Amino acid sequence: MNKNETVERRYLPEISRKEIDELKNTVKVSSQKIIADNIERMKKADPHRPDAMKYFDDIANLFGRRQQEIQAEKEKGKKVIGYLCLFAPTELISAADAIPIRVNSGWYDTSKLGDRVVPVEVCPVIRSTIGAKMIELSPFLEQSDALISVLTCDGMTKLSEILSDQKTIWGMNVPRIKDSTQSLRFWSDEIRHMKTQIETFTGNKITRNSLKEAITVSHRATKVFRRLQELRKGNPVIMGRDAMLVNQAYTWDDKKRWTEKTEALCDELEKRVQQKDWVCNSDTPRVMLTGTPMFWPDSWKLPTLVEEGNPQGIIVADEQCSGERILSDPIGVDEWSMDDMLNAISERYLMASTCPCFTSKDGNEDRINWLLNKVKEWNVQGVIYYVIRGCMLYAMEYSRVKKALDKINVPVYYLDTEYTREDVGQLKTRVEAFMELLNARVDF
């Protein structure tokens, strides 16, 4: 169905083909430049960068190889199902022989276009995704035949409505109270409903075998991801930005190939550990990022400031839905019956999430526990609490996180920004002051 013609646009403005093409070309050129620049800087930051990173540099080109591969698959009749939030059960998509792909937008330029539709107070992830749709910039968003939108926050809720002007959208209702049996029951129904929807749409039945296979693929990816994270516990053997790129690329790459390439990276890194070949001095402050997501490529702004700062820091862990949360938790299947697998998927996607859209009788305590555990296991010396303006949930949960980190005497810095590139100077001052603070604590 070409929704472009059949549905009246309730939100999106009419833009002429000429303007769309012009804007798309301009923004694409600027985006490719930013991708190239980010990678160039990552290469410079680590002169002995692992060879295995070459693959990820290539896959990081959002307008490159992966776009072509997906196009070829589509031409053979495969469906692409995009998703806007980590709660989307990607295993169900894969099990129906469709391609799951995350389509959240990390472009600053398109966030400015989104301002034509929603006010600037709205979170830039939302504005940028709207802008990307307006000018058809995002290859993966354009290639998606349907989108799963999980209604976690106000922005996501309305975003799905706005995108439904031009895309087939399947909303998933996520319960906000995590620790109740009725919530899990409700969510479990949503998951089962999504299974039917995907089956009907693709025309492919999700079988016990195909779902088992999809879950197994996820298990392997989680296993290698955990291996990579394990390597970040000791002296730094990989720059944080490199690990973050590998991590995030999973959301648009082919899952099996990603797993192989990440295995190769880990093999290489393990050799480096033996050779004591570190990427920076062992006394470089070890930083964890938490807060709002950092989508490639424009959100590399902050990690770049940390790792190229004077004094320099090294990112060793994060607690973000654009980062470790993607792969941290495996789907815990006991018996491989269809029912058991679906229950396991429901639990994995609901219970493992530390998104601040949730509360429970102890508030979002899972997030606090995650952070405290990371600080301890990854020997984190300072936490940057990153909030892109417009995200109420993360902004409001800060006080609690700060109190928890104060208790264990780990400094945390609240850094609020936007997708904008213009505030780099001010952010640099703050980030470097925080690194100086962390250094001073080590010195005395």
Per CB under 8 A, 432 contacts other proteins: yes
CB 118 within 8 A of CB 176: no
Distance CA 269, CA 243 (A): 11
414 binds other proteins (CB under 8 A): yes
Binding to other proteins in span 307-336, by CB under 8 A: 310-311
CB 271, CB 52: distance < 8 Å = no
d(CA 271, CA 275): 6
Check binding of 280 to other proteins (CB under 8 A): no
d(CA 125, CA 243): 22
By CB under 8 A, what part of segment 153-172 binds other proteins? none
Which of 15, 227, 411, 424 binds other proteins (CB under 8 A)? It is 411
Site membership for other proteins, residue 443 (CB under 8 A): yes
Specify whether the CB–CB gap between 204 and 213 falls below 8 A: no
Closest approach of Cβ 365 to other proteins, in Å? 23
The tokens 């703050």 sit on which residue? 430
Residue 184 C-beta-side C-alpha neighbours within 13 Å:
15
437 binds other proteins (CB under 8 A): yes
Determine, following the binding rule CB under 8 A, whether residue 298 of this chain makes contact with other proteins: no
Q: Which stretch binds other proteins (CB under 8 A): 256-264, 291-299, 313-321, 428-436?
A: 428-436
Give the chain's radius of gyration (CA, Å).
21
CA separation for the pair 357, 149 (Å, rounded): 15
Beta carbon of residue 115, minimum distance to other proteins (angstroms, whole number): 17
- Least distance between other proteins and beta carbon 109 (Å): 20
Q: Give me the least distance between CB of 173 and other proteins, in Å please.
A: 34
Q: Is 97 a binder of other proteins (CB under 8 A)?
A: no
Long-range contacts from 37-45, C-beta under 8 angstroms, 24+ separation: 38/241, 38/296, 38/297, 38/300, 38/304, 41/304, 41/308, 42/239, 42/241, 42/242, 42/245, 45/239, 45/241, 45/279, 45/307, 45/308
| 370: amino acid identity, one letter | W
Tell me how far apart the alpha carbons of residues 437 and 431 are, in angstroms, rounded to a whole number: 10
CB 313: neighbour CB atoms within 10 A? 26
Residue ranges of alpha helices (H) inside 46-171 are: 53-59, 65-75, 90-95, 108-114, 124-134, 139-143, 154-163
Number of residues that bind other proteins (CB under 8 A): 21
Q: How far is the CB of 85 from other proteins (least distance, A)?
A: 28
Residue 75 or 443: which CB sits closer to other proteins?
443
Site for other proteins in 336-395 (CB under 8 A): none
User: Which of residues 87 and 434 has its CB atom nearest to other proteins in the complex?
Assistant: 434
Q: Which is nearer to other proteins, 147 or 371 (CB)?
A: 371
The one segment of 24-32, 101-109, 284-292, 419-427 that binds other proteins by CB under 8 A: 419-427
Q: State both tokens at 87.
A: 């709660």
- Applying CB under 8 A, which of residues 57, 190, 319, 416 lies at the interface with other proteins? 416
Selected range binding other proteins among 9-17, 161-169, 225-233, 427-435, rule: CB under 8 A: 427-435
Q: With binding defined as CB under 8 A, does residue 440 bind other proteins?
A: yes
**408 near other proteins (CB under 8 A):** no
Report residue 47 as tokens: 């002169």
End-to-end CA distance of the chain: 66
Based on the shown chain and the rule CB under 8 A, indicate whether residue 275 belongs to the binding site for other proteins.
no
Select 157 or 439, whichever has its Cβ closest to other proteins: 439
Give the nearer residue to other proteins in terms of CB position, either 168 or 439.
439
Backbone angles phi, psi at 331, to 5 degrees: -85, 120
Q: Is 429 in the site for other proteins (CB under 8 A)?
A: yes
Mask: binding to other proteins, 77-96, rule CB under 8 A, as x and -? --------------------
Nearer of residues 198 and 438 to other proteins, judged by Cβ: 438
Which residue ranges make up the site for other proteins (CB under 8 A)?
Answer: 310-311, 411, 413-414, 416, 423, 425-426, 429-430, 432-434, 436-437, 439-441, 443-444
